[in-house]
Amino acid sequence: MIHIHLSTAVRGVARKLRKCRSEFAGFILRNAMNDFMALITPPAPPDVDEVRRLARHGCLDIHRVSWLRCYLSRDGTRMLCWYHAPDAESVRLVLRHQGFTDAVVRAAVVSGDADPGALAESRDCRVLELPADSGTSAALSARLDDAHGGRYRALISQQGDLALLVVDHDRADAVADTLGSAGIALIDEQNAVEIDPRPASLFSTLPGAASRAGRPSRRAGQAVAPGDAGGMLDAVVIGAGLSGISALHRLLGMGLVVRLYESGSGAGGVWHWNRYPGARVDSEVYTYVFSFSDDLVREWDWQELFAPQAEIARYFEHVIDRFDLRRHMRFDSPVVAVHFDDGGGFWTIETADGERMSARYLVAATGALTAPQMPDYPGLDTFSGVSCHTARWPCSGVALAGRRVGVIGTGATGVQVIQTIAGEAGELYVFQRTPTYCVPQRNRPMDDADRERIRRDWGRILDACRDSWGGFVHDFHPVSGLAVSAADRRAKFEELWRSPGFAFWLGNYADLMMNPEVNEYASDFLREKIREQVDDPDVARRLIPDHPLGTKRVPLENGYYEAFNRPDVHLVDLRETPIERIVPEGVRTSRETIPLDVLIHATGFDAGTGALARIDVRGTGGASLADKWRHGAQTFLGLMVSGFPNLFLVNGPHNAAALSNAGRSIEQNVTWIARCIEHVRESGFTRIDASAEAEKEWTEHVVDAANGTVLAQMTDSWFYGANTSGKPRRVTIYAGGAREHRRHCDAVANAGYPGLDFS
């Protein structure tokens, strides 16, 4: 056996292969167009686990790159990888991101047995170098196909400068003989291991239920009947937002006996609580709401593309009556404790007014952004004017006209409040700690023609959302921002900036969230737009962020920047003049005391884990969820928590919703949960729990996915828990995108729930 570097071999044949390129054109093409091969010299020899870890990065998906196969030389010095991708640049970007800077990437023709399953996972194989004088491509493929039934794989660059054959180790000699008898003597060969690095293999190594389908269930044929456990409910849902109502409707549809508890006096979740001026949705509203009923789509007439809070709250009330859900709901009933009964395998649920209930399954639809967070300035309680958090805005409203109003916070909420009340308040003081990039929302009224189009195309719209990275009607432009000229890039940015919603963010170049250079081009474009819109250059300078675009959810603005051109709107930059304390008459900064009548806290939420942490959640052995998450959330798929059997989270931590269209992510979560419960019941089990191993794997994947994006460059946000004192700085959201999240969830369900323990 001669051991050589693949690159040496490749160089050796490249020159000659170029000559016989036309011959190879006749080679049987099975995967032309979107196949790419990459020859890599890793900076340090990776092992199989490392290759798998790299493959799970969300950036593969964001670039629409599927990593099909990898051949890792035994000495770890070379890798030959096979991808499906839109273009070579996407592959290069992914490789650069994974630290492989010197890869040779070529569009490839793949021949032989193209079924990735043909060569077994992690099997020993040999990579054979083809000589240039190997005869015609047709002869080569015919001989191999005849003699070996196509059980080889040839990766040949379309340029004709790389040509490698991969065969099972056991067959390598026979293949060499076949080629030899055709007058083709190999130049060289290398022992390698074949790896299937496709992200779908996440959890596949776990002991799971892959064989469960064929295994007799504990009580096969005796599905648990609704309410079978001595009057206990089948399920309790906590929360009446999009998540809770979706779950309630879905579980009732399965014939379960379900009750929903909600702390507020009405339905809507965030849309019930966030009644502050200017609150409106940031997803095109018709893509955000329930999709479970075509009748609902036909019946409800949306008035605006990005509907305001009041319209959405009305919609929720309509939905719960239209589908007769109200009788299953208890309002003004905050859940204070949920304890798992180890012996009985059910949850007991206790509300603030002392009601106790038991249920087999518990769905925590408590929301990611529902635990309001007040700033911790000294003297907060001493303010003598009206003060409130935006997420606890009183139903009766707050009188603002002509008054001196302060707003602390310039996230998505602060932006909406500020642009709406500028001009109404007598004087408006904006207390800004970190500026943020806003893009124009370009909201507009919807007319009959819009509604008709939506109803007609409803199926296609849902499909488009499902197939997009973030569940929106927008999706990344499948081209690298580096693959175009500066002029073209600028023209694209301008076009996106003129489009509604998140077009500029999630319809931008494919590597916006991956490549700091591309991100900087886009960020810089927005900085320029801020300068154009704000008259005073000094104010503009303070409004300009320096972090990468998209590392916070991008607020959509309707006149935000122009508001700062008004003489009665004042920007207080807290980086220059921090707040020292709140005093009875207003806010004292390091420079002055600003007198106020109203102080609005748009200061965000204890996000992701906050709502559940406020409930006494105890799993097996009385273990507390708050304790478990003290050093950061740990979940399985963002949907379950090990040690807390039969508890499901909708839109919980580690979920894709923070970067996606929450409505679409929530329905995907609920569908998975319903299917899982159905599976447990049909199998005759009563308890399901995530294994510690599966939870660890998902939690590590969540960290990996974020590290594969620019998010990791700016951790001062609720995405990392930075806005809540005492919280560990750990990523709380899934950065791989909604499509990727769904893919992992579906893979688990389709494989019979590996990673979950049934009993």
Pairing mode, if any, of strands 104-112 and 35-40?
antiparallel
Who contacts 294 (Cβ-Cβ below 8 Å, separation ≥6)? 458
Asked if 409 interacts with ligand NAP (CB under 6 A), we say yes
Report, in Å, the least distance between residue 544 CB and ligand NAP. Answer: 14
Question: What distances in angstroms separate CA 681 from CA 226, 514, 673, one per listed residue?
Answer: 10, 42, 12
Taking a C-beta distance cutoff of 8 angstroms, is the pair 435, 554 a contact? no
Bridge partner list, 601: 389, 408
Report, in Å, the least distance between residue 550 CB and ligand NAP. Answer: 11
Q: Nearest-CA neighbor of 521 among 558, 470, 486?
A: 486
Report, in Å, the least distance between residue 441 CB and ligand NAP. Answer: 8
Site residues for ligand NAP, 527-586, by CB under 6 A, read 553, 556, 574
Report, in Å, the least distance between residue 174 CB and ligand NAP. Answer: 59
**Which is closer to ligand NAP, CB of 42 or CB of 501?**
501
Give the gyration radius of the chain's Cα atoms: 29
Q: Nearest-CA neighbor of 256 among 619, 646, 655?
A: 646
> Of 226-234, 238-246, 431-439, 695-703, which part binds ligand NAP (CB under 6 A)?
431-439
What does the block give as tokens for 302?
């949306």
**Which is closer to ligand NAP, CB of 105 or CB of 418?**
418
Report, in Å, the least distance between residue 695 CB and ligand NAP. Answer: 25
**Which is closer to ligand NAP, CB of 134 or CB of 589?**
589
Number of residues that bind ligand NAP (CB under 6 A): 23
**Which is closer to ligand NAP, CB of 246 or CB of 717?**
717
> Of 71-79, 86-94, 157-165, 412-420, which part binds ligand NAP (CB under 6 A)?
412-420
- Measured in whole angstroms, the distance separating CA 351 from the mean position of its chain's CA atoms is 32
Site residues for ligand NAP, 140-169, by CB under 6 A, read none
Residue 220 backbone phi and psi in degrees, to 5: -50, 135
Report, in Å, the least distance between residue 374 CB and ligand NAP. Answer: 8
Q: Tell me the residue type at 691.
A: S
**Which is closer to ligand NAP, CB of 172 or CB of 281?**
281
For 242-397, where are the alpha helices, taking DSSP H only? Answer: 242-253, 270-273, 285-288, 294-299, 309-322
Site residues for ligand NAP, 497-526, by CB under 6 A, read none
Q: Which of 106, 433, 679, 681 binds ligand NAP (CB under 6 A)?
A: 433
Q: Which of 718, 734, 753, 758 binds ligand NAP (CB under 6 A)?
A: 718
Site residues for ligand NAP, 619-678, by CB under 6 A, read none
Q: Nearest-CA neighbor of 48 among 210, 197, 233?
A: 197
Helix (H, G, I), strand (E, B) or coil at 164: strand
What does the block give as tokens for 567?
């003489």
Asked if 434 interacts with ligand NAP (CB under 6 A), we say yes
Q: Which of 134, 137, 141, 603 binds ligand NAP (CB under 6 A)?
A: 603
Asked if 243 interacts with ligand NAP (CB under 6 A), we say no
Q: Which of 158, 468, 723, 732 binds ligand NAP (CB under 6 A)?
A: 723
Report, in Å, the least distance between residue 6 CB and ligand NAP. Answer: 47
**Which is closer to ligand NAP, CB of 167 or CB of 417?**
417
> Of 185-193, 201-209, 429-437, 699-707, which part binds ligand NAP (CB under 6 A)?
429-437
Who contacts 494 (Cβ-Cβ below 8 Å, separation ≥6)? none
> Of 182-190, 357-365, 397-405, 408-416, which part binds ligand NAP (CB under 6 A)?
408-416
Rounded to whole angstroms, how far apart are CA atoms 708 and 192?
A: 27
> Of 48-56, 430-438, 444-452, 520-528, which part binds ligand NAP (CB under 6 A)?
430-438
Residue 700 backbone phi and psi in degrees, to 5: -65, -40
Using the CB atoms, write b or e for 97-108: b if 16+ within 10 Å.
Answer: bbebeebbbbbb
Bridge partner list, 402: none
What does the block give as tokens for 712?
């990791």
Report, in Å, the least distance between residue 563 CB and ligand NAP. Answer: 16
Asked if 414 interacts with ligand NAP (CB under 6 A), we say yes
Taking a C-beta distance cutoff of 8 angstroms, is the pair 279, 309 a contact? yes
Report, in Å, the least distance between residue 282 CB and ligand NAP. Answer: 3
Report, in Å, the least distance between residue 576 CB and ligand NAP. Answer: 13
Asked if 412 interacts with ligand NAP (CB under 6 A), we say yes
Rounded to whole angstroms, how far apart are CA atoms 672 and 635?
A: 15
- Measured in whole angstroms, the distance separating CA 127 from the mean position of its chain's CA atoms is 37
Q: Nearest-CA neighbor of 323 among 403, 233, 252?
A: 252
Q: Nearest-CA neighbor of 557 among 614, 473, 500?
A: 500
Q: Tell me the residue type at 416.
A: Q
Report, in Å, the least distance between residue 681 CB and ligand NAP. Answer: 35
Q: Which of 112, 604, 608, 752 binds ligand NAP (CB under 6 A)?
A: 604
Residue nearest ligand NAP (C-beta atom): 411
Asked if 42 interacts with ligand NAP (CB under 6 A), we say no
Report, in Å, the least distance between residue 393 CB and ligand NAP. Answer: 12
> Of 111-119, 402-410, 511-519, 624-632, which part binds ligand NAP (CB under 6 A)?
402-410
What DSSP letter does each residue of 649-697 carry, written as one string? ESS-TT-GGGGS-HHHHHHHHHHHHHHHHHHHHHHT---EEE-HHHHHH
Report, in Å, the least distance between residue 335 CB and ligand NAP. Answer: 22
> Of 28-36, 219-227, 308-316, 426-434, which part binds ligand NAP (CB under 6 A)?
426-434
Who contacts 368 (Cβ-Cβ below 8 Å, separation ≥6)? 605, 607, 608, 611, 651, 652, 653, 655, 657, 658
Report, in Å, the least distance between residue 439 CB and ligand NAP. Answer: 12
Asked if 268 interacts with ligand NAP (CB under 6 A), we say no
Asked if 481 interacts with ligand NAP (CB under 6 A), we say no
Report, in Å, the least distance between residue 407 CB and ligand NAP. Answer: 9
Rounded to whole angstroms, how far apart are CA atoms 169 and 190?
A: 10
Report, in Å, the least distance between residue 668 CB and ligand NAP. Answer: 18
Asked if 411 interacts with ligand NAP (CB under 6 A), we say yes
Report, in Å, the least distance between residue 705 CB and ligand NAP. Answer: 18
> Of 108-116, 162-170, 597-605, 732-740, which part binds ligand NAP (CB under 6 A)?
597-605
Using the CB atoms, write b or e for 632-649: b if 16+ within 10 Å.
Answer: bbbbbbbbbbbbbbbbbb
Report, in Å, the least distance between residue 143 CB and ligand NAP. Answer: 60
Number of other residues whose CB lies within 10 A of the CB of residue 713? 11
Taking a C-beta distance cutoff of 8 angstroms, is the pair 698, 199 a contact? no
Rounded to whole angstroms, how far apart are CA atoms 579 and 160?
A: 66
Taking a C-beta distance cutoff of 8 angstroms, is the pair 484, 492 a contact? yes
Pairing mode, if any, of strands 335-341 and 346-351?
antiparallel
Taking a C-beta distance cutoff of 8 angstroms, is the pair 160, 21 a contact? yes
> Of 245-253, 380-388, 455-463, 602-610, which part binds ligand NAP (CB under 6 A)?
602-610
**Which is closer to ligand NAP, CB of 81 or CB of 428?**
428
Taking a C-beta distance cutoff of 8 angstroms, is the pair 271, 316 a contact? yes
> Of 150-158, 331-339, 406-414, 704-712, which part binds ligand NAP (CB under 6 A)?
406-414
Q: Which of 66, 141, 413, 480 binds ligand NAP (CB under 6 A)?
A: 413
Q: Which of 369, 512, 617, 710 binds ligand NAP (CB under 6 A)?
A: 369
Number of other residues whose CB lies within 10 A of the CB of residue 509? 25
Enumerate binding residues for ligand NAP (CB under 6 A): 281-282, 369, 375, 408-414, 416, 431, 433-434, 553, 556, 574, 602-604, 718, 723
